[in-house]
Structure 1
Amino acid sequence: MTISKTPSGRWRVRVKSGRAKVADRTFDLKRDAEAWQASQKRALDLGEYVDPRAGKELLGVALDRWHAGREGSIASSTFTNEGYALKHAQTLRSRPMSAVTTTDLNALYMTMLRTLGRDTVVRFRQTLSAFFAWAVDHKLIAKNPVTGSKVPAGTAQRERREIFPLTLEELRAVHERLLDTTTKANADIALVLGLTGMRWGELVSLRVRDVQQLPYPALRVSRSKPDGEPVRNITKGGKPRTVPLTDDAAAIILPLLTARKPDDLVFPSATGSFRSGNNWKRDAHWTAHGMGRRVQDLRHTAATLWLQSGVDLKTVQAWLGHSTAKLTADTYSHYMGSDADTAAIARMNAVLSAAPQRPPRMTKRQSR
């Protein structure tokens, strides 16, 4: 790495890696040349050097290249959703990657929030951050501009789909209804989903080897099979989890393991393959007997039953496979009673029941 003076009186810095020249730049002032030389030397020594020419690739070209390379490595629904999210970067696509700044991104978020819900903008930011992290790893840019950006609170509202869990009595009633109208296997699936909190794809991909009986009956949930997609050796939460079985769930699952091989499915279809969610809902007459709930509400049912039974929040987070306890709390906070709530309600009921009952006040017309 050298600094030399040009015939015009300017200062040129040549950056070399070994014997190969990887970059050069000219400055009016020697101190600016020396500062840039020092920064480039430090980046080379730390393995963080990025060719200054790399960031000239247009953002749109690099985005398309990155997104196309992810097809097949992520769920098809995730791949499709990423494609939709990246359309919001249209105004930045013609810029060189190195020219996209945190300020640009913050301005884009504000524009999006005029018409879109904040959750949508947050997902866009997450997708864009994954792209720029990839670009940094591939030495296309020096740093991720999304890291310093922030999505402010927006004014646009997006309708949120409320969770609608069953009570334990309702869950048992649904199970009884299904026993009267479909096969026992179909009916038992509803009860297992409502007691274990598994997603549909996790239940249908469950193998005999995934059921443990020591030190207590439990399920090792480590893969998923969404309808119409291949088996994924990873759950939506990104890592395996263990879900203990209640006596009711164990009484259904453990007898199914008899005379089966370790890789056999616990809940196979009639042909021995993976079950289809749509076929199960049709065969079980779920629309007629599910009390207006979605199949996903059976997962919410398990979560609320755990919380209302006194299971602590961190344990429920682990059993559900949520990434953080905050996500669990945000989803189920209005179903989480506390000892303080219970005591306060008991005091109020005691006060109200002890208060003297006043006779109804009579009007002048009634007193005549």
Structure 2
Amino acid sequence: MTISKTNTGRWRARPKVGRNVIASRTFDRKADAEKWHDAQIRAFDLGQFVDPKAGKEKLGSALDRWMVARSGTVAGSTLKADKALLRMVPISMRNLPLAAATSQQWDALFVAKLQADMARSSVVRLRAVVSSFYTWAIRQKIVASNPTKEAPVPKGTGVRKPHEVYPFTVDELREVVGDLIGNQADVALFLGLTGLRWGEMVALRVRDLVQVPRAAVRVSKSAPDGQEERATTKGGGERTVPLTAELVPIVATWAAGKKPSDYLFTSAAGYKLNGPNWRRSTGWTKYNRGRRIHDLRHTAATFWLSNGIDPKTVQTWLGHASMTLTVDTYAHWMGSDADLAAILRIDSLLGDARGTSAKTGSE
């Protein structure tokens, strides 16, 4: 029998598939044992069965195994950011059996982070990471469901931290490039006029140069410092970024004499560029006017937007996953004809008022 009465008077359910017992659990009432027994058989038939023993693994241990499994499949920066978020899961929850963590506990954690003035966008990201973990755990058949589905992040609370954007003007960019040491100063100008991320620039091959219908670079890979080259960009897609007339002869010089598979930009010794070495060899920290290398990307984006390039085009050139990200990041730099007309009108009114005041005072 798969349901039997124990010596203590309780009822043990032992669902079997063929000759194999797939689970075992005891109940006070026979009806409860039968209900649970039938549910396990039904789940097995549907391919949804999860061994109850699997859920006894500690939540923290399962989270750590998941992070190891993701290594090499996502960007290193993403992995680092997700690890930082998961450190917010308290020890008390990490020590729980995986199957014991409830939606109410996750909901309480998310609310607590909002009340601690954590940016809502960060709490949303934390929930997304945890939800991805449960999706993996369900595929591994160590849990049956995702409790975060019943724990949405509340709206209207938390603090949204603004993106830090400190771009150069084009004139400043050219001055800084002129101050930098050696021919690798060209790299700063290239980044400042194309908006590529450092890792995307490093991964460019000579074959990525495009001449038709116009001079451009095809961006499809990324090689962040200290990581293996990835066959995708941070935005997850391939894009083509046009080259200004100023950059065309520069990239032609870097490509000269190289094979199509060679890196376009290299160190003085011909090796793949490395951020710390590049900063040291060019004197970047001395001449950068307090900017980061990533601010070169912001330089391109703000130059485009403030000069009327439409946000959809800028999103495409930057490789952002959505136009919302572009607009949220660079909203204050988006100029328009209406803005220009308005400020000219204001200047005119202020000038008239100043002239009237001066005239009145002289009389």
- The answer, yes or no, to whether TM exceeds 0.5 is yes
| Alignment partners' CA distance in 1, 2:202 and 2:52 | 50
Which of 299, 305, 308 is the equivalent residue of 2:303? 305
| Alignment partners' CA distance in 2, 1:106 and 1:243 | 43
| Alignment partners' CA distance in 1, 2:19 and 2:336 | 69
Contact 1:114 1:154 in 2 (8 A): no
The match for 2:178 is: 176
Q: So what's the TM-score if we normalise by structure 2?
A: 0.83
| Alignment partners' CA distance in 2, 1:333 and 1:27 | 63
Q: How does 1:213-228 map to 2 (within 5 A)?
A: 213-228=211-226
Q: How does 1:118-133 map to 2 (within 5 A)?
A: 118=119, 119-133=121-135
**C-alpha displacement at 1:275, in angstroms?**
1.6
SS at match of 1:359: helix
Judge which range, 352-361 or 61-70, deviates more: 352-361
| Alignment partners' CA distance in 2, 1:194 and 1:263 | 25
Contact 1:117 1:157 in 2 (8 A): yes
Identity %: 47
Contact 1:174 1:290 in 2 (8 A): yes
Contact 2:4 2:13 in 1 (8 A): no
1:194 is the counterpart of 2:196: no
The match for 1:251 is: 249
| Alignment partners' CA distance in 2, 1:196 and 1:260 | 22
The match for 1:23 is: 23
Q: CA RMSD in A?
A: 3.5
The match for 2:65 is: 65
| Alignment partners' CA distance in 1, 2:43 and 2:20 | 16
SS at match of 1:243: strand
The match for 1:164 is: 166
SS at match of 2:328: helix
**C-alpha displacement at 1:215, in angstroms?**
2.4
SS at match of 1:23: coil
Deviations 1:279-305 (Å, cap 9, x if unpaired)? 222222223332332111100011112
| Alignment partners' CA distance in 2, 1:326 and 1:161 | 13
Contact 1:3 1:33 in 2 (8 A): no
SS at match of 2:23: strand
Contact 1:212 1:220 in 2 (8 A): yes
Which of 134, 149, 152 is the equivalent residue of 2:151? 149
Deviations 1:22-46 (Å, cap 9, x if unpaired)? 235657475x677656755654454
Contact 2:308 2:334 in 1 (8 A): no
The match for 1:267 is: 265
1:112 is the counterpart of 2:116: no
Distance 1:98 1:279, change over 3 A: same
Deviations 1:312-360 (Å, cap 9, x if unpaired)? 2222222212222211111111111234333433443444455584336
Structure 2 unaligned blocks of 5 or more: none
SS at match of 2:191: helix
| Alignment partners' CA distance in 2, 1:43 and 1:320 | 46
**C-alpha displacement at 1:156, in angstroms?**
7.2
**C-alpha displacement at 1:76, in angstroms?**
5.0
| Alignment partners' CA distance in 2, 1:16 and 1:249 | 71
Deviations 1:82-123 (Å, cap 9, x if unpaired)? 444333222202212122122211211233345462255444
Distance 1:13 1:320, change over 3 A: same
SS at match of 1:259: coil
Contact 1:218 1:245 in 2 (8 A): yes
